[in-house]
Structure 1
Amino acid sequence: MATTSPSVFYEKEDNLKKLCDFLRTREGPPCREALLLEKRVLYLKGEKLVNFLVEPKKGTKWPKKLPRFENRQDAIAACKDLCTHQYLLRCEKRGKGELGMMRNRDFDESGYFAWIYEGNTTMRHLMTAGLVMGFLCCVCFPIWPTFLKVFVWYMSVSLLLFIFFLITSRAMLFLVVWIVGWECWFLPNLFDESLGFVDSFKPIISVESTKPGQLPYRLGVGLAVGWFCYWAVTQPSEFDGFVKGQGDFLKDLYAGTLLSDMSQEQKENIDKPKMQSLDDLLKSLDKEIEENIQPDDGLDDEDKLDSLLDNLIEDEEDVGEEEE
């Protein structure tokens, strides 16, 4: 394999596909996104592709099964083969984020080329099917059997508690070591959104010295931590009650009885606005009318109504005099 010339090796289509599989990974040359015939594609300039084949960027892990390019002539020949087998398509830039087709399909370092080769799409189809099935399963959650609902609930609560414990333990470890004079983070890149899944767990731990000028803050935090430890030791009954309360909270959380003191109707109407119905308003109005009518012996209903009207007129006259 080492003595095989790259120009001869990449004449075979299978070897050319292996080169494409490598170039389409993260180790390959950087590409940009654009629209070609209303389809989103990745494209790059021919010169950058040739430069990458001859001198890959620092840290690139070139596959051992693929021979390296020693000169630009071999790299250009391989790029021409990519265009011949229609793995790359020559195009032209028509605007920002938009490409157009060209009649000339030959490779040229000054031209732009869009990737047509997609590689093995089996895993992509499986992931799409899994996404659709997962969505359907979530939609059909109300008709799940009881044991599956309980399993999902326990798994969700356990995952939530694990994440909370992980975040709390990382913060406590950093706090204790920071008081001593070092910055220690367990999984420092755990919440870095710019990294991939595997890279988020690298490195496992990082230790650096604290920046100058933090001594007063470290002493203050150290006194606060020491006072809390002293309180936990000298007040065992209160601390034990706090621990017991947390244990009861976890039991209710797993059992799903945190809202057990609420009725089912209250749970269903928890998000509804608290507004009185028309019947309730009429009942409250009748109650106010009954309260305003004074119980006079010997008066019939007409006399009571006249008395109520007289009271209302007097109230309105009093309000008018106050406004004047």
Structure 2
Amino acid sequence: MAQNKKESAPEYNDDQKDLIKVATLLQKKGLKEKEAVANRQRVYYFRADMFHELVLEHSKHILDILSKHIKLEKLDSIEDSMELGDIFINNGLLKSFDRVKEEPQKYKYPKKLVQAQFPMKEKGFYAFDIFKPQNKTAYLAIGLAVAVIAIILFPLWPYTVKLWIFSFLFYFSAIMLGLIFVRLLIFLLLFLFGIDFWIFPNMLDDDIAILDSFLPLLYVNRRHDGWTVFFFRMFLLLCLGAYCYNESGLPIPLTQTGELFDEIYEWGKGKMIGNETNAIQYTGKGHESLDDILKMTEQYEQEEEEERQRKEQEELEKKEEEMRENEDL
């Protein structure tokens, strides 16, 4: 994206907000942006052919984003993608650039560009002109540094806090994995009867906000497949019926499942935070935890010194005994 001087954040209208979402989508999907110098400013630009390729590849998603405020009937060809690029330019969110005439070689990604005034073409160089607040980047950098330090010092955290964190992460992961498994199982079962049914259909979509991932709650649609898929579904249904009939007489080991869950929990707790008996107990009184560490270190060094002296004494006694045996001989 083009880098501008420090300025207040502009107020974008609804059209521009939707276009910014499209730009973010293209960047996440692999729009390659290179750094260059244009008019003594640093810009991050992309090639038009890469833009068109990604737009056509994700045309359905882009049309869904723009459907509320921007009238764009289709994205089936390069011309349609060029029309989308012109919409970006007309809304002030895209700038066009050209090669420097004095450039000795025609690099695929030149290091120097000059700003131009032309619409979106099939080939060329363009850069998004979207404001990025610098304070947000600073906050993220500070948060990242604090998180790294906290992770490094994790062994020194109070055992109770570590247990809370581990329990939250463990049960949250178990709930998410269970939800993913259940929604997939229900989808496969109803697929056999020609129905597409999803619980939280946008749950695994990384191009939308976190809260939007849980909206809508359900998605139901009747499939209109050909005879090939129909016979395939009937074959799977017969296989499922035969499997259920074969397994119907066997007991369901729910207790074993619960024991396995508990074993995984205890194993993960031991790997992540260790045992409570070996952990340093923080009482919250000043720096007692540091004193405990120093005492444990001194005790360990003292035990090592005593062990070393004991071994030296044993070796000395062994040598004296060998000398006495030699004198007797």
TM, length-normalised to structure 2: 0.49
- Larger of the two Rg values belongs to structure: 1
